[in-house]
Structure 1
Amino acid sequence: MDQGFEKIPNNWHEQMINLLAERIVVVDHDGTILYINEAYCEFLGTTVKHAVNRPVQEVIENTRMHIVAKTGQKELAALHPINGSEMIANRFPIIEDGKIVGAVGSVMFRTPEEWRMYKTKIQGLVEELKYYKTKLEKELKSKYQFNDLIGKSSTFLATKKLAERISRSNSSVLLIGDSGTGKELFAHAIHNSSMRASLSFVAINCASIPEHLLESELFGYDDGAFTGAKKGGKKGQFEIADNGTLFLDEIGDMPLSMQSKLLRVLQEKEVQRVGGQRSISVDVRIIAATHRDLEKLVEEGKFRQDLYYRLNVIKLEIPPLIERKEDIPLISQSLLKKLERKFYRKGIELSAEVEERLMRHSWPGNIRELENVLERSINVIDGKTIEVVHLPLYLRDMEPESNFTNIATTLNNQLTPKTPLPIFSLKETLARAERDAILNALELTNGNKLEAAKLLEIGKTSFYEKCKLYAIK
């Protein structure tokens, strides 16, 4: 007997057995009952004193305990008809020094009601698992098709047509464009029109995941790879996207150390989990996207040239909104329909003056900025028409022309020899412009400093320092 078990007081043993198994019986090699607990006797309509030392088949009808004690073959979850109902029984042989010396049996459910109650609980868990599995499968499907890409400008239509043409290929695609131009929508649409449409579409933002987690997120990890690793390991995004499409957003922000590992996967078509020894074959189409100038990053040594050429098999440049202003009314209508569903509203429209303001704005945040403006407006309107008063402050107060050149021209035309133009130092002029840009970005992102920093394409620390410098809270 295990030395640890010997330390347990003898009077604890029976209590432990009764706690772990509500109904239990122990027989010797001949099938004679050596032990049976009170719970089992109560169910059988007998007593412990009357049952012990008797053949088990005389006490328990339809028993197989004496058979298990002879054959040494365990019987798990066996149906056992008794007292007009069916129990679920487990029977195990007891082996000592390699010889079968007896058997132990326990009853899991003594009535059909108990079984049904257990089944109900298990069924609930099964249904819950099914729900989350279905939800996960839906999330791994692409959400948009080419019909969802709105626009009629020549530059946009040319890009859309090229995207449709190359969607049937398995080649890597590199989407270039400013933040908010809809690169991810193009990625979804390309996948949805490809031969892989019925399989997984997995999107991952390379800029939003800390460097030390990016490798395990992309390639997965094996059991015990690091402290806190999930038991049994975890699949990476490449494995999840196998035979489907993997969308790597903000690829230009991927650390150099990860770029070399990604290149190996693309070349060898296999991944190796963190802490793992074996290689796992994967067949994945890569769609990458960035708002950064990768060619410049290659020149600066911040992006691997060989990875750039591996990704840049087919390049699509998504035009910014300022180059397709004639699409603004159509895009606005589409976004309003989407927002109506979100806010349970109907029939929301733009006033003529608002539409004119939208057409004149330069839209540094592109379609994402436009959607934020419309959502902000819907939050403050009482009726169904968005007026100028409902727009963010920077659109309400905009000059007749929104670009600095036209503003300067307007001011210059108004000057007379008697009204000199106020002159500020270059340093102060730049500071004023910088402060206004930060305020506009914060207005656009509803005060979200992280999003504002991203919109201005500066680091978080630098953004906070500038806010402190200009007393912006």
Structure 2
Amino acid sequence: MVKITFIIPHQEIEAKVHAFISEIREERIVFSTTHIVGTQEAFLSECDSDIVIARGITYLALKRNLLNVSVIEISITGYDIIRALDACKKQYQAKKIAIIAAESIIYEEGFLDDILHTDIEVYKIQNEEDVVQALRMAKEHQVDAVVGGLTACRIAKNRGWQCVQIHTGEEAIRRAINEALSAAYATRLERAKAELLKVILENTKEAIVAVDQDGGVTAFNKAAYKTLNIPFNRQMTGRAISSVIPDFDTLNTADRHDAEIGVLKNINGRMILIEWAPIRVESKTVGVVYTLQNVDKIQETESIIRKELSRKGLVAKYSFGNIIGSSRVLNKTIQTAYKYSQVHSNILLMGETGTGKELFAQSIHNASSRSLEPFVAVNCAAVPENLLESELFGYVEGAFSGAVKSGKTGLFEFAHKGTIFLDEISEIPMNLQAKLLRVLQEREIRKVGDTSLLPIDVRVIASTNINLLERVRNGQFRQDLLYRLDVLNLRIPSLRERGEDIQYIAEYYIEVYCKQYGKPTPELSPGAVAVLSRNQWPGNVRELRNICERLVVLSDQKVITADEVTNLLVFSGLHADASSDENSGESAMAKLAEADWETLVKLMKVMKVNKAEMAGMLGLSRTTLWRKLKEK
């Protein structure tokens, strides 16, 4: 509610003032009237109005003293002054007249002299002492009569002067009331804004502190009390910011940086991250707004986010530190990948199966600025062609028969602000390639069955173990899509190219699986390492990892020998000596003769194969394998 007080300058217009006020139909604006003369101290001390309407020196006094109140002046028109001068001239036959009034209502003297053919002197006043001084000077100048406002006339008549009061016209009254109403609307709007700002400040979880140009605190929300560990009953507004954040040069800091800069400071025993933004009016810094965050809370929030993403399976578990090996080619690949992680461009990972393309994709994500956002991996070859579009982009209710009633969020939408990893990108059908191209170009998706577009911010990392240029030449892959995906490319080296890493990888996985199965960790003999290093590893690291698991399950010795490794590679159809069709069965038969039933059973369990599959791997018929096992 806005309260307006109209100070009536003379009783004659009181009825008109009340008549004008009665026309106003504003429920949240309340008018009241009073009648004071001059500058009554009682009114100044008791005034609880938001807006005051006054005239003359009363207006000037209120303007000086009521700094938080909007004071509206009842303007005096030239006609009001001329009318008072004419009345004074006729009533007192005055030849020389003094106008004693506030400076704001004074008009040019020469102009009035010419109109009324009368000698006129003007005395500008601001208070009652000025009125007394003006009357003294008028007497010295042999003035016949005085024209002035209510206060000037009251003092003049008490001193025996002939005086005519300047009356306010109806138009001036109505104009002052309308101006007061405009001020009331503005006040109401400002109050609404202030209340909104207060609600925002008090309900935001971020600690916010604002200071003025002198470093005095002007705003300090509840979260700031909590973050800075300050008792709620301590009044912070009006204090110097240095009492809250010691040794902090407020305005110099803000002037040096337009952007928000984070600074860590220990405040009241807590590590606080401080960011700020200068408040500038006409290029001058008049204050600063600080946002303060408890570092422990930030870490706790990050942990919650990562746990939630992990629960949904939308998190990257690996980083560059999880990539095993120290070969030159691997280190160079990691260095390039890290450089790629620092930008947002799309990446195409190329490499044979089992080289660790997803490991590199997750590492790039975790090293990037998107690390706290989702990481979504999808194997394009594993999703049926008729479902791939709805999996990637989602669908709306009723998009097709069998669609979930509430619709479905697509993987691109899940990956918003994060990274999507499109594994085996070469397997995306041609009709879907065009839609994927549009997503990469426009950065927006359209769900199946929807007409609207949804903006997304996603970093795309794709991978392939197939030569995509060959696919383009064969008309199986769009060239423009390849260009969009292949902004940055990274070739992951095969295990054959990094042979010096084989021993480290094997030892690492043997230790991992020994812990998993509760077995003591055996050593690899030099001969075993040599056998592993000579192998071609078409399945790369994934294949080596599987062999290490089988070795752990089958071996009960402290040292894994070359023969054990050779036997296992032969059984798995991986040994280099079993490269030709002619001697593969013969070699397998020789090794089979040396093996026992228990070893073969263990091997089939580890490899999760049946007798028929094992026979196929050994190049034998199922009957022969069964017979040999029975002989043993």
Q: TM-score range by the shorter chain?
A: 0.5 to 0.7
How big is the shift at 1:240? 0.2
- 8 Å Cα contact 1:181-1:368 kept in structure 2: yes
Separation of aligned partners in 1, 2:383 and 2:498: 32
Number of the residue aligned with 2:560 = 386
Number of the residue aligned with 1:315 = 489
CA offsets per residue over residues 21-54 of structure 1, 9 Å max, x none? xxxxxxxxxxxxxxxxxxxxxxxxxxxxxxxxxx
**Correspondences of 1:238-257 after superposition (within 5 Å):** 238-257=412-431
Cα 1:172–1:434, aligned 2, differ >3 Å: closer, same or farther? farther
Separation of aligned partners in 2, 1:245 and 1:132: 14
Name the stretch that deviates more: 267-276 or 342-351: 342-351
Number of the residue aligned with 1:355 = 529
TM-score, L = length of structure 1: 0.57
Number of the residue aligned with 2:435 = 261
Cα 1:444–1:153, aligned 2, differ >3 Å: closer, same or farther? farther
What letter corresponds to residue 311 of structure 1 in structure 2? L
What letter corresponds to residue 483 of structure 2 in structure 1? Y
What letter corresponds to residue 287 of structure 1 in structure 2? I
Number of the residue aligned with 2:247 = none
Cα 1:133–1:370, aligned 2, differ >3 Å: closer, same or farther? closer
How big is the shift at 1:254? 1.3
Match status 1:376 vs 2:537: no
- 8 Å Cα contact 1:144-1:189 kept in structure 2: yes
Separation of aligned partners in 2, 1:448 and 1:267: 46
- 8 Å Cα contact 1:205-1:248 kept in structure 2: yes
How big is the shift at 1:318? 0.6
How big is the shift at 1:337? 3.1
**Correspondences of 1:264-413 after superposition (within 5 Å):** 264-391=438-565, 393=567, 395=569, 402=576
Separation of aligned partners in 1, 2:497 and 2:605: 20
Q: Structure 2: 5+ residue runs without aligned partners?
A: 1-303, 590-602, 624-632
SS in structure 1 of the partner of residue 349 of structure 2: strand
Separation of aligned partners in 2, 1:291 and 1:444: 30
- 8 Å Cα contact 2:551-2:568 kept in structure 1: no
Number of the residue aligned with 2:314 = 140
How big is the shift at 1:343? 2.2
Specify the structure having the higher radius of gyration (Cα): 2
SS in structure 1 of the partner of residue 422 of structure 2: strand
How big is the shift at 1:151? 1.5
TM-score, L = length of structure 2: 0.43
Number of the residue aligned with 1:218 = 392
Q: Percent identity?
A: 42
SS in structure 2 of the partner of residue 266 of structure 1: helix
How big is the shift at 1:261? 1.1
CA offsets per residue over residues 86-143 of structure 1, 9 Å max, x none? xxxxxxxxxxxxxxxxxxxxxxxxxxxxxxxxxxxxxxxxxxxx99983754621111
**Correspondences of 1:5-24 after superposition (within 5 Å):** none
Task: Identify which of 598, 607, 625 aligns with 1:446.
Answer: 607
Separation of aligned partners in 2, 1:198 and 1:382: 44
Separation of aligned partners in 1, 2:387 and 2:457: 23
How big is the shift at 1:471? 6.0
- 8 Å Cα contact 2:420-2:460 kept in structure 1: yes
How big is the shift at 1:366? 0.4
What letter corresponds to residue 328 of structure 2 in structure 1? S
SS in structure 2 of the partner of residue 324 of structure 1: helix
Computed over aligned residues only, the root mean square deviation of the Cα atoms, in angstroms, reads 3.6
How big is the shift at 1:378? 1.2
Cα 1:267–1:329, aligned 2, differ >3 Å: closer, same or farther? same
Separation of aligned partners in 1, 2:584 and 2:485: 35
Separation of aligned partners in 2, 1:135 and 1:141: 5
Name the stretch that deviates more: 140-149 or 185-194: 140-149
Number of the residue aligned with 1:170 = 344
How big is the shift at 1:470? 8.9
**Correspondences of 1:135-214 after superposition (within 5 Å):** 136-137=310-311, 139-214=313-388
Higher relative contact order (CA 8 A, sep 6+): 1
Q: Structure 1: 5+ residue runs without aligned partners?
A: 1-129, 408-428, 453-465
SS in structure 1 of the partner of residue 607 of structure 2: coil
What letter corresponds to residue 446 of structure 1 in structure 2? M
How big is the shift at 1:157? 1.2
CA offsets per residue over residues 58-96 of structure 1, 9 Å max, x none? xxxxxxxxxxxxxxxxxxxxxxxxxxxxxxxxxxxxxxx
How big is the shift at 1:252? 1.0
How big is the shift at 1:381? 2.0
- 8 Å Cα contact 1:369-1:444 kept in structure 2: no
Cα 1:318–1:131, aligned 2, differ >3 Å: closer, same or farther? closer
Give aligned pairs, total.
301
How big is the shift at 1:257? 1.3
